[in-house]
Amino acid sequence: MSKFWSDVVREIEPYVPGEQPKIAGLIKLNTNESPYPPSPEVAKTIDRDAVDQLRLYPDPNASELSQALADYYQLDVGQVFVGNGSDEVLAQLFMAFLQGRGTVLYPDISYSFYPVYCQLFGVPAKTIPLREDFSLALADYSTEAAGIIFPNPNAPTGMGVALDEIEQLLKARPDTLVVVDEAYIDFGGESAASLVSRYDNVLVVQTFSKSRALAGMRVGFALGQRSLIEGLERVKNSFNSYPLDRLAQRAATAAIQDDDYFKASCAKVVATRDRMTSRLEALGFTVLPSQANFIFAKPPAAVSAETLAAQLREHKILVRYFNRERISDYLRITVGTDEQIDTLLAVVESLL
């Protein structure tokens, strides 16, 4: 008879992150990171003094960063919670508000961490299919539930949900916690941060990993009314009171305060995305309307997405191919620099 813990281990199906290859010279368009470095202010703040202070524990409340975020989103500091990447913030909100409380609804197709957390925390899940055109219609989320979670824009489709649809949902479901995962919001979506002060059933989760180019530092945050933030704080303090290290707190504060750099790099990504979309469409691809820093595209009939992804890899270009029902003909391609995208387009053209 097998030991019960072996069974438990086998039952856990962890999330598999995108490939982070060690080989230099690859054009990495597979995990939706920023193609640009973080704000130059980030490098300036990681100075000798910051290093000397590493002997001290970090501020457990990340007060400076929380205040900078509150200022940025015009909220009260008590409406901000920071964590070690938005994946961790999502785990904490599952622990605080969803575990043991009922069903969680999320879209099928969507971010593959949601089923992992449902399984990990023993939360019953119900998936709501995307519409035929891959749009995420919140009117379809009518089942009784403790929570509803979805990314806006959705991943891997890149398609956005309108703010008034989110507001309708918040009004219609006052007893359901609605989590808007805004990992990709800064590339053209409408943030639900503006709804936080008016609705006590919404948590907006964002990350510094994409638009602020700090994926390697692991900084995420949630915005919500005080009672929700307090719930998250309680989980944090029962678990890891020092989620963000000193360097991450400094770096993220410097990044959020450099708005000009942030806006300029988002604008560059959006311009490249739109140019890349037109070129791929001209080559016969079907490209879903993206509001994110990636596109989701189906190659012309002559070539399969799987083959194209393998061929691009031989040309040292990494893109993401999903081997799943409904989306196995699609590639998800992160928006790189103009130069990277020109190389991608030239290689794609030569392969068709």
Distance from C-alpha of 165 to C-alpha of 189, rounded to nearest angstrom: 13
Q: Is 94 in the site for ligand PMP (CB under 6 A)?
A: no
Distance from C-alpha of 325 to C-alpha of 328, rounded to nearest angstrom: 6
Nearer of residues 223 and 348 to ligand PMP, judged by Cβ? 223
Question: Binding residue for ligand PMP (CB under 6 A) from 79, 86, 191, 277?
Answer: 86
Restricting to residues 121-160, name those near ligand PMP by CB under 6 A: 151, 155
Q: Is 106 in the site for ligand PMP (CB under 6 A)?
A: no
Q: Let me know: does 215 contact 209? Beta carbons within 8 Å.
A: yes
Nearer of residues 88 and 258 to ligand PMP, judged by Cβ? 88
Task: Write down the least CB distance from residue 121 to ligand PMP, Å.
Answer: 16
Q: Using CB under 6 A, which of the segments 55-63, 66-74, 81-89, 297-305 binds ligand PMP?
A: 81-89
Question: Binding residue for ligand PMP (CB under 6 A) from 85, 115, 160, 243?
Answer: 85
Q: Let me know: does 130 contact 90? Beta carbons within 8 Å.
A: no
Question: Binding residue for ligand PMP (CB under 6 A) from 45, 58, 87, 250?
Answer: 87
Task: Write down the least CB distance from residue 46 to ligand PMP, Å.
Answer: 19
Q: Is 115 in the site for ligand PMP (CB under 6 A)?
A: no
Task: Write down the least CB distance from residue 202 to ligand PMP, Å.
Answer: 16
Task: Write down the least CB distance from residue 151 to ligand PMP, Å.
Answer: 4
Task: Write down the least CB distance from residue 111 to ligand PMP, Å.
Answer: 4
Q: Is 220 in the site for ligand PMP (CB under 6 A)?
A: yes
Nearer of residues 17 and 174 to ligand PMP, judged by Cβ? 17
Q: Is 291 in the site for ligand PMP (CB under 6 A)?
A: no
| CB within 8 Å of 42: residues ≥ 6 apart | 214, 251, 254, 255
Question: Binding residue for ligand PMP (CB under 6 A) from 128, 141, 181, 188?
Answer: 181
Q: Using CB under 6 A, which of the segments 80-88, 100-108, 170-178, 282-290 binds ligand PMP?
A: 80-88
Q: Let me know: does 273 contact 35? Beta carbons within 8 Å.
A: no
Distance from C-alpha of 213 to C-alpha of 145, rounded to nearest angstrom: 35
Q: Let me know: does 96 contact 231? Beta carbons within 8 Å.
A: yes
- Estimate to the nearest angstrom the gap between the alpha carbon of 56 and the chain centroid: 31
Task: Write down the least CB distance from residue 158 to ligand PMP, Å.
Answer: 11
Determine if the peptide bond prior to 115 is cis (ω within 30°). no
Q: Is 183 in the site for ligand PMP (CB under 6 A)?
A: yes
Q: Let me know: does 114 contact 127? Beta carbons within 8 Å.
A: no
Interacting residues toward ligand PMP by CB under 6 A: 85-87, 111, 151, 155, 181, 183, 207, 209, 215, 220
